[in-house]
């Protein structure tokens, strides 16, 4: 692990408790920040948004997202890059029954 730490972490996506999002940015812009850091192709953003059913609201500012939408955007961040391993710790934490259903359907 020590010798290959960076390479292994690049192959791992995660959502632990609640996603760390920039609330003043749109959903698309949040993904763009991470896409650039990871050096991924631009198409990966649309693929992640489609996977979590947020493409229609991608240009909405995150502070206006519901809690369920924020969790799904967190999942999109975890999915960005088509990782070999996803680590999801309580991805439905704090959600109402409808939000829990949304996240479980996405997974």
pLDDT of 95 reads 78
Q: Into how many domains does the chain fold?
A: 1
* 78-81-82 Cα angle (round to 5): 85
pLDDT of 41 reads 94
Q: Is the Cβ–Cβ distance between 70 and 57 less than 8 Å? A: no
Condensed to tens digits (0 to 9), the pLDDT of residues 20-31 reads 899 999 999 999
- The domain that contains 62 carries what CATH number? 3.40.50.300
Condensed to tens digits (0 to 9), the pLDDT of residues 33-46 reads 999 988 899 999 99
Condensed to tens digits (0 to 9), the pLDDT of residues 53-102 reads 899 999 999 999 988 889 889 989 998 987 888 898 888 877 788 878 88
pLDDT of 13 reads 85
Q: Could you list the residue range(s) of the whole structural domain that residue 81 is in?
A: 5-106
């Amino acid at each position: 692990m020590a010798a290959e730490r960076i390479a292994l972490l690049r192959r791992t996506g995660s959502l632990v408790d609640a996603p760390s999002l920039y609330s003043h940015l749109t959903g698309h812009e949040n993904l763009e920040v991470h896409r650039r850091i990871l050096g991924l192709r631009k198409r990966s953003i649309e693929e992640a948004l489609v996977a979590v059913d947020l493409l229609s609201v991608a240009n909405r500012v995150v502070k206006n997202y519901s809690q369920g939408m924020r969790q799904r955007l967190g999942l999109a961040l975890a999915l960005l890059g088509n990782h070999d391993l996803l680590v999801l710790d309580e991805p439905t934490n704090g959600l109402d029954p409808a939000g829990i259903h949304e996240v479980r359907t996405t997974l």
